[in-house]
Amino acid sequence: MTTAHGIQSAAWLLIALPLLSAGVLLVAGRRADKWAHVVGAAVPVVLFGYAVMLFFSVKGEGNREINLHLYSWIPVAGFKVDAGLLIDPLSMVFVLLITGVGSLIHIYAVGYMAHDEGRRRFFGYFNYFIAVMLLLVLANSYLALYVGWEGVGLASYLLISFYYSRNIAATAGNKAFFANRVGDVGLSIAIMIMFAYVGSTSYADVLYGDTQLTKGVATAIGFMLLLGACGKSGQFPLQTWLPDAMEGPTPVSALIHAATMVTAGVYLIARSAPVFDVSQAARTAVVVVGAITLLYGCVCGCGQDDLKRVLAYSTVSQIGYMFLAVGLGPGVYAIGIIHLVGHGFFKAALFLSAGSVMHAMNDRIDMRRFGGLFRVMPITYGVFVCGYLAIIGFPLATGFWTKDKIIEAALDKGGTSGWVLGVVALAGAGLTAFYMTRALVMTFHGERRWEDDVHPHEASRSMTYPMIALGVLSLVGGYLLIFGGGLQHWLTPSVGPSVEEGVHTVSTLVLTAITLVVVALGVLGGWVAFGRKPVPISQPVGVSPVTTAARRNIYADAFNEMVLQRPGQWLSRALVYFDNRGVDGAVTGLAAGFGGGSARLKRTQTGFVRSYALSMLGGTIAVVAVLLAVRFQ
């Protein structure tokens, strides 16, 4: 760990600058409407430029883990938390991804939001997101990470419900917020456990400090971190919010809910690698969550008609791959991170082209009303195909390099579990090919099923250029990342060396061939089912139970409603009833009792002096009688 010097000392600007511009854009009001998008889009570009310089500066260091102490944040007696940034290979990868892809999507959003009244507000939120996301990945303690973590949660909420006047968008925002709350509780408990057992929350003390975590503590922390990661990354069982999050503007779906924020869970687990190294149970849980989510996302993706939802489920499933990779343990972390970066490229490309389609089709997103768009939108089609090839793992495209490695690593785990995971990952690849082919065919090929008032056209240049850049990255990015083991070596100081040259269960060549066959089968299946015959305009009824389940996201929403929401409602209703009848009843009953009693008692005040005199006499006689009784008992 070295101390920051030179250009590295200015790393705090990565957070301060977008935060400042977000503040300016949100506070300035309507007078900023004219130039807000220029400032908003310029900031991430500037940050990317700085991040590249920072990258080379870090690259030149002998020890590539640089600590930048900012100030003493919470100096309370025994509890001392310093605010500081950790610039190391892992955080550097994220900084470059966030600012790089973020810049492209910001530029895209200039065109996409051009006719939207809320463009200034949009860019304010977007810059705010960049600031807190960079804080999340640059923090050098779990407590500072938590601030960023909550910050991106807020950004996500604000941007999902950006069209807040639409009920469905507001509901989707709430849903995301609640699901994230469940995860955040896990993360905060993990931080409390760290403080209780280690007395500090900084990475240096918790992960590499003198205090050795016992197995029990590490398991507890690991499970709580996993819960937090599941909430943020849309993993089973907290995955239901992510597809609904597509109610936000498409650049939001591309940047926050595909390329960067939702991968924060993967970052958290990769960052906490030493904790998971101690606890085998927590590690197994990560793998299981990843495998379940991977298949879940694929199956749901096959049943959706909304293009953005298909992509959302594919995000869920691709992050499942990443969880699988980081859960497999030492040597595979780097592969998970590589897939994360590659996914950032191709998923952003897919979402941006989906946004371009949506833009052209008057904001309609139902794939059953698309079809034949490849002639009118050649650039969008080209970018989508690039993303498509990358995600299904077409030879030499990004997914081919990154996803296949995960399948390989899963099989290399060995034993029965290795085979199960390998087959699950392989099946996921086939299903991915199937539903992506379905989306491609339904959107761009076949006959035109447009509604009458739709006149699709290619988008403006501020939208197409970033799309093209991301499309090219989707094709060649994976090779660049994996070239000569570049990224694996770069990440070694953070997550340990990558074990590529281990003993393979199945030789690389055979496995690649098998994977390609499975993918080809998926593509063929998708084309046979949707490419050869006309696609009906409305959803076919009387379909198989599997299709129904996939359309209803395998009843996850129904399950949540039955098991969580309904009992919650019943509980709250019972509490309201108890409050009204029980608590309020006791209070009002007591008051009514006193009121009625006094109303009766006051009848004795007749106004007749002689009756008062009689009661006085009676009282006196009673007192005398008691005295006598006591005296002569």
Partner 1 sequence: MTPTYYLVLSAALFTIGAVGVLVRRNAIVVFMCVELMLNAVNLSLVTFARVNGSLDGQIMAFFVMVVAAAEVVIGLAIIMSIFRTRRSASVDDANLLKY
- Chain positions contacting partner 1, by CB under 8 A: 602-603, 605-610, 613-614, 617
Q: How far is the CB of 619 from partner 1 (least distance, A)?
A: 13
With tokens 């409305």, the residue in question is 538
Which residue, 167 or 606, is less far from partner 1 as judged by CB? Answer: 606
Q: Which is nearer to partner 1, 587 or 617 (CB)?
A: 617
Closest to partner 1 by CB, 545 or 607: 607
Q: What is the DSSP string of 500-531?
A: -SS--SS-HHHHHHHHHHHHHHHHHHHHHHHT
Is the four-CA dihedral 304, 307, 313, 314 of positive or negative sign?
Answer: positive
C-alpha–C-alpha distance, residues 339 and 399, integer Å? 8
In whole angstroms, what separates CA 57 from the centre of its chain? 31
Host H or E run for residue 412: helix 398-412
In angstroms, rounded to a whole number, what is the distance separating the alpha carbons of residues 246 and 504? 40
Q: What is the longest distance spanned by two Cα atoms in the chain?
A: 120
CB of 507 or CB of 620, closer to partner 1? 620
Report the nearest approach of partner 1 to the CB of residue 564 (Å).
Answer: 58
Q: Report helix, strand or coil for 157.
A: helix
SS (H, E, C) 273-298: HHHHHHCHHHHHHHHHHHHHHHHHHH
Closest distance of CB 630 from partner 1, Å: 21
> Closest by alpha carbon to 388, among 357, 346, 355, 351?
346
Which one, 72 or 620, has the nearer CB to partner 1? 620
DSSP state of 565: I
Beta carbon of residue 618, minimum distance to partner 1 (angstroms, whole number): 10
Give the residue with the Cβ less far from partner 1, 572 or 620. Answer: 620
As measured in angstroms, the least distance from the Cβ of 604 to partner 1 is 8
Task: Tell me the closest approach of the beta carbon of residue 588 to partner 1, in angstroms.
Answer: 24
For residue 609, the minimal CB distance to partner 1 (Å) is 5
The minimum distance between CB 569 and partner 1, in angstroms, equals 50
Helix (H) or strand (E) segment spanning residue 158: helix 142-160
Output the DSSP codes for 434-502.
HHHHHHHHHHHSSS----TT----PPPHHHHHHHHHHHHHHHHHHHHHHGGGHHHHHHHHHH-----SS
Residue (216 or 618) nearer to partner 1, CB: 618
- The nearer residue to partner 1, 538 or 606, going by C-beta atoms, is 606
